[in-house]
């Protein structure tokens, strides 16, 4: 079974015969068997060359790069092997037709909001008194249908998250003052965790898109851009409450992570290497968690749920079945 590989140290990643080898800056060598690699995440300063890039393109392996502060820097996205002219035409058509685009954008926000409400209800029945937040977000969700502009829909999404993040002081046991989302740069431990894990999820979704016939640059909620694979942002919105937010609640409520695990000189922007490894181990563990799928009637992993979501989008674009966004049912 293929798996993700994480490079936490600095060094050189290169092709060695018909596999990969990572040479750390200390000289230590580690062979990475190509047949079991799903994708690669580079957190250190990595040197690569065109010989490696050609090999990665041939084998279809995405590489996601993060900078010194663990901010997402970019991805090597190999030449697409699964291409469909018909699907590409439909993707563009649904973006160009404003009403079709609006319909999809609303579905992404609806799916994300439903999953946020699922998290809040979970903690509400456990005595966190989140009734006010649940009521406010439910009203915003109900108002979604009355808006017909992308910026208005993005505004609803932003207001939902503003209320949601405000509730985290009730959900998280540690004494951390967290009232709002701050991105550039994050200003405390929770904002740093959100930024980092959102970037990881974005990369995970991108790796799944590569294994479909979808074009990652054509999106509907987020504006397409030359600087990013914006379809990943659309789909990641739906899965953040399940994967990112629940991981953060686990890390902080179980005291797996504390302020001591951050480099305080960087204003909590940088995780220490040992805790970074622990986080990525937990990410993989969470993504491999299985749940009995209500439609397929078999166990599927959280990771596979993301692929299934992409297949549902494809069927919607091709006119085979109306898209219904993933909602947490457990």
Alpha-carbon gap, residue 64 to 43, rounded angstroms: 9
Q: Give the burial string for 157-182 (b: 16+ CB within 10 Å, else e).
A: beebbebbbbbbeebbeeeeebeebb
Alpha-carbon gap, residue 81 to 60, rounded angstroms: 8
Per-residue tokens: 323: 């898209």
Residue carrying structure tokens 């740093």: 192
Alpha-carbon gap, residue 295 to 305, rounded angstroms: 12
* Sheet containing 3-7: order of strands: 3-7, 37-42, 62-66, 72-76
Residue 222 annotated as binding site: yes
As annotated, the binding site includes 157, 222, 237
As annotated, the binding site for Mn(2+) includes 157, 222, 237
């Amino acid at each position: 079974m293929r798996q993700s590989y994480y490079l936490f140290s600095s060094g050189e990643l290169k092709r060695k015969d018909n596999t990969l080898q990572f040479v750390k800056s200390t000289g230590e060598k580690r062979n990475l068997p190509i047949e079991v690699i799903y994708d690669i995440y580079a957190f250190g300063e990595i040197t690569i060359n065109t010989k490696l890039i050609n090999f990665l393109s041939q084998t279809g392996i995405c590489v996601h790069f993060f900078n010194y502060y663990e901010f997402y820097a970019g991805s090597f996205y190999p030449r697409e092997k699964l291409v469909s002219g018909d699907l590409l035409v439909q993707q563009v058509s649904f973006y160009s037709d404003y009403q079709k685009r609006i319909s999809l954008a609303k579905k992404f926000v609806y799916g994300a909001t439903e999953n946020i409400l699922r998290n809040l209800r979970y903690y509400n029945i456990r005595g966190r008194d989140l009734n006010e937040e649940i009521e406010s977000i439910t009203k915003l969700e109900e108002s979604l249908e009355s808006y017909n502009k992308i910026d208005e829909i993005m505004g609803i999404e932003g207001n939902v998250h503003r209320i949601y993040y405000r509730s985290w002081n009730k959900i998280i046991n540690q004494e951390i003052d967290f009232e709002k989302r701050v991105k550039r740069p994050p200003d405390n431990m929770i904002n740093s965790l959100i930024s980092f894990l959102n970037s990881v999820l974005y990369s995970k979704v991108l790796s799944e898109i590569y294994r479909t016939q979808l074009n990652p640059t054509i999106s509907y909620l987020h504006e397409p851009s030359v600087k990013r694979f914006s379809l990943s942002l659309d789909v990641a919105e739906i899965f953040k409450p399940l994967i990112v937010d629940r991981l953060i609640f686990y890390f902080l409520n179980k005291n797996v992570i504390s302020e001591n695990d951050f480099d305080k000189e960087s204003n909590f922007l940088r995780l220490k290497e040992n805790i970074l490894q622990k986080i990525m181990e937990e990410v993989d563990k969470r993504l491999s968690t299985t749940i009995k799928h209500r439609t397929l009637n078999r166990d599927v992993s959280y990771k596979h749920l993301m692929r299934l979501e992409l297949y549902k989008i494809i069927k919607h674009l091709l006119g085979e079945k109306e898209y219904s966004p993933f909602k947490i049912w457990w």
